[in-house]
C-alpha cells in the first residue's frame, strides 16, 4: 500500500521522513498486519489539519474515515472529555450516568424517532449493527411463518450486494465483499444478499417465503446503507429505498438503515434517511450509528423506533461492558453541541457542494463525475489510479482516500471552511493525468 509513498518529484512534495520510517518499521514488528503498512505516523492535529512525527502538515479530507466530525482537538470536546475523565470515566452497567441518559434522549430526538423509541449503546459501528441484527432475530421469532409449532422456518435477514456493516462475525455475515467475508464461513445462517438497487431481486427474495415445508422462512429485516460508503460512496436512490420500505411493510419486515458512515450530520442532514433525495422520505425501524458521533471517541449504537420493537430487548438480551461509557457519552454530547451551535449540518451541505462542483469545474480530465451528499463524497477517475493519486496528494499535504481503484473518497471534518476546500481543490486540480494504475 505504501511502498511507493517515499518518492519525491520536482513539485516539492513531502517525502516520508526519518521518524516516520523508524516508527513504521517498529509498527510492523508488533502489529497484526491487517491494515498493511500505515501511510504515516501521526502526532497531533488541530481543526482540519494533522501533523506527522516528522512535522509535516496535512489537510485531512478523510477525517479518520468520517469520524473526526468536529476536527482535531476541538477545545469544547477536549474540555468535555477532560472534565468527564476527572469526574468519572466508567461505572459498569450496574449503574448509570447523566451523560449517557442525556445522549440517548438527544439521539432519539435528532433522529425524529417516535415516542417510546430506545437507544442501545456500543463502542463501534459493527457493534451497533450486531445489536440491530440481534433485535431483528428476536423480532423474526414473532412472525407467524417462523413459529416452529406450525412447521415454520427461522426468519431470514436480507442484506445488499456491495453493502458494508462491519467485521465482527454477525455484521460480517451481512457484509457483501466476498474477499473479506468468505474466508470466515460458515457465518450466521439465514442472511441472504440481493442485488442493490434492484427492486425485483428483493421482491423475489420476499416471495420465496413459503408456508409449512415449502419455501424459506419469513423475512425479519432488510439491512442497508443509503449511501454505500465502503463500496465507493454510492447512493442507492430514493425510488429504490421507497420500494424497499413498501415491500418491508407488506411483508412485516423491519428496515434497518446503517448510518454508521452517513449519520450525525455528515450528509447534510442529521441522518441520511431524513434527506428526501436519499430515502424518498421513508422512516426506518432501526438506525445504527457510530463513526462521527463522538468526534473521535469510540462509540456506536442503535436506535430502535417505537416502544414495541424496543421492548423485544429485555435484561440479558444484549450488552457490553463499555456500553454507554460516560467518557464516550460526554465526548458525543460535546460533538453534538458543536455541530448544532456552529451550524455544521448546513456547512456539510454547502462545503460538499463546493467540493463536488469544484472538482467538475477544475478542468482536470482525470475527474469524470462526482457522487455523494454533504461531506461524504467521491469522484470517479478516468482510469484506475486512485492509490497513486492518494499518494501524490499525501506528499503535497492533502489526505484523500482511495476507496476504490477508480474513485477517491472525501469525508473531511464537518468544520472545513470554504478556504480549506479551495486549498484541497488546488492540489486536486494539479494531479497529473498519467499516474500509474493500481
Ligand X SMILES: *Cc1c(COP(=O)(O)O)cnc(C)c1O
Give the binding site for ligand X (CB under 6 A). Answer: 124-126, 129, 164-166, 225, 229-230, 258, 260-261, 290-291, 300
47 labelled binding-site residue: no
Please report how close the Cβ of residue 253 comes to ligand X at its closest, in angstroms: 20
Cell of 38: 500505515
Which of the 8 DSSP states describes residue 41?
A: -
Please report how close the Cβ of residue 289 comes to ligand X at its closest, in angstroms: 10
385 and 436 in contact (C-beta within 8 Å)?
Answer: yes
413 and 69 in contact (C-beta within 8 Å)?
Answer: yes
100 labelled binding-site residue: no
Cell of 238: 430514493
Task: Report the residue number, 59 or 171, with the smaller CB distance to ligand X.
Answer: 171
Cα dihedral across residues 332, 333, 336, 338: positive or negative: negative
Task: Report the residue number, 167 or 383, with the smaller CB distance to ligand X.
Answer: 167
Residue, CB closest to ligand X: 125
Distance separating alpha carbons of residues 161 and 195, to the nearest angstrom: 5
Please report how close the Cβ of residue 363 comes to ligand X at its closest, in angstroms: 32
Please report how close the Cβ of residue 322 comes to ligand X at its closest, in angstroms: 13
Task: Report the residue number, 16 or 126, with the smaller CB distance to ligand X.
Answer: 126
Distance separating alpha carbons of residues 426 and 222, to the nearest angstrom: 42
Please report how close the Cβ of residue 176 comes to ligand X at its closest, in angstroms: 11
Please report how close the Cβ of residue 378 comes to ligand X at its closest, in angstroms: 13
164 labelled binding-site residue: yes
* DSSP labels, 45-109: EEBTEEEETT--EEEESSHHHHT-TT-BS-HHHHHHHHHHHHH-S---TTS--HHHHHHHHHHHH
Task: Report the residue number, 300 or 358, with the smaller CB distance to ligand X.
Answer: 300
411 labelled binding-site residue: no
Task: Report the residue number, 209 or 274, with the smaller CB distance to ligand X.
Answer: 274
Distance separating alpha carbons of residues 348 and 270, to the nearest angstrom: 10
Task: Report the residue number, 216 or 275, with the smaller CB distance to ligand X.
Answer: 275
52 labelled binding-site residue: no
29 labelled binding-site residue: no
21 labelled binding-site residue: no
158 and 174 in contact (C-beta within 8 Å)?
Answer: no
Cell of 399: 489526505
Q: Which residues are annotated as a binding site?
A: 125-126, 164, 167, 258-261, 320-321
In the annotated binding site for N(2)-acetyl-L-ornithine, the residues are 167, 320
Annotated binding site for pyridoxal 5'-phosphate: 125-126, 164, 258-261, 321
Amino acid at each position: 500500500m505504501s511502498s511507493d509513498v517515499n518518492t519525491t518529484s520536482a513539485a516539492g512534495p513531502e517525502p516520508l521522513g526519518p521518524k516516520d520510517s523508524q516508527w513504521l518499521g517498529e509498527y510492523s514488528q508488533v502489529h497484526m498486519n491487517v491494515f498493511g503498512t500505515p501511510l504515516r505516523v501521526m502526532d497531533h492535529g488541530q481543526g482540519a489539519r494533522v501533523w506527522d512525527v516528522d512535522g509535516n502538515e496535512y489537510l485531512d479530507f478523510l477525517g479518520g474515515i468520517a469520524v473526526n466530525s468536529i476536527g482535531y482537538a476541538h477545545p469544547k470536546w477536549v474540555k468535555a472529555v477532560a472534565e468527564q475523565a476527572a469526574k468519572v470515566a466508567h461505572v459498569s452497567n450496574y449503574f448509570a450516568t447523566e451523560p449517557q441518559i442525556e445522549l440517548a434522549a438527544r439521539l432519539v430526538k435528532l433522529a425524529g424517532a417516535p415516542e417510546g423509541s430506545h437507544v442501545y449503546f456500543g463502542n463501534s459501528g459493527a457493534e451497533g449493527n450486531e445489536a440491530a441484527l440481534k433485535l431483528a432475530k428476536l423480532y423474526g421469532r414473532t412472525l407467524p411463518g417462523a413459529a416452529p409449532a406450525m412447521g415454520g422456518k427461522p426468519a431470514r435477514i436480507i442484506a445488499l450486494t456491495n453493502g458494508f456493516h462491519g467485521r465482527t462475525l454477525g455484521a460480517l455475515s451481512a457484509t457483501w465483499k466476498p474477499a473479506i467475508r468468505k474466508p470466515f464461513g460458515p457465518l450466521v445462517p439465514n442472511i441472504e444478499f440481493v442485488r442493490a438497487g434492484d427492486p425485483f431481486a428483493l421482491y423475489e427474495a420476499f416471495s420465496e417465503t413459503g408456508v409449512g415445508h415449502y419455501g424459506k422462512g419469513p423475512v425479519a429485516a432488510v439491512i442497508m446503507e443509503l449511501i454505500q460508503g465502503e463500496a465507493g460512496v454510492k447512493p442507492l436512490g430514493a425510488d429504490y429505498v421507497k420500494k424497499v420500505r413498501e415491500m418491508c411493510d407488506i411483508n412485516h419486515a423491519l428496515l434497518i438503515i446503517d448510518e454508521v458512515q452517513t449519520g450525525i450530520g455528515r450528509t447534510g442532514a442529521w441522518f441520511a434517511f431524513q434527506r428526501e433525495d436519499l430515502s424518498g422520505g421513508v422512516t426506518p425501524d432501526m438506525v445504527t450509528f457510530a463513526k462521527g458521533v463522538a468526534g473521535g471517541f469510540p462509540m456506536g449504537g442503535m436506535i430502535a423506533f417505537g416502544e414495541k420493537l424496543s421492548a423485544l430487548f429485555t435484561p440479558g438480551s444484549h450488552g457490553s461492558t463499555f456500553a454507554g461509557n460516560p467518557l464516550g457519552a460526554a465526548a458525543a454530547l460535546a460533538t453534538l453541541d458543536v455541530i448544532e451551535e456552529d451550524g455544521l449540518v448546513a456547512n456539510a451541505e454547502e462545503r460538499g457542494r463546493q467540493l463536488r462542483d469544484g472538482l467538475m469545474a477544475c478542468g482536470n480530465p482525470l475527474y469524470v463525475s462526482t457522487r455523494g451528499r454533504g461531506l461524504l463524497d467521491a469522484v470517479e477517475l478516468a482510469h484506475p489510479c486512485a492509490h497513486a493519486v492518494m499518494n501524490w496528494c499525501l506528499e503535497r499535504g492533502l489526505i484523500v482516500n482511495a476507496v476504490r481503484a477508480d474513485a477517491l473518497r472525501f469525508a473531511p471534518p464537518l468544520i472545513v471552511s470554504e478556504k480549506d476546500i479551495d486549498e484541497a481543490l488546488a492540489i486536486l486540480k494539479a494531479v497529473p493525468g498519467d499516474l500509474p494504475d493500481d
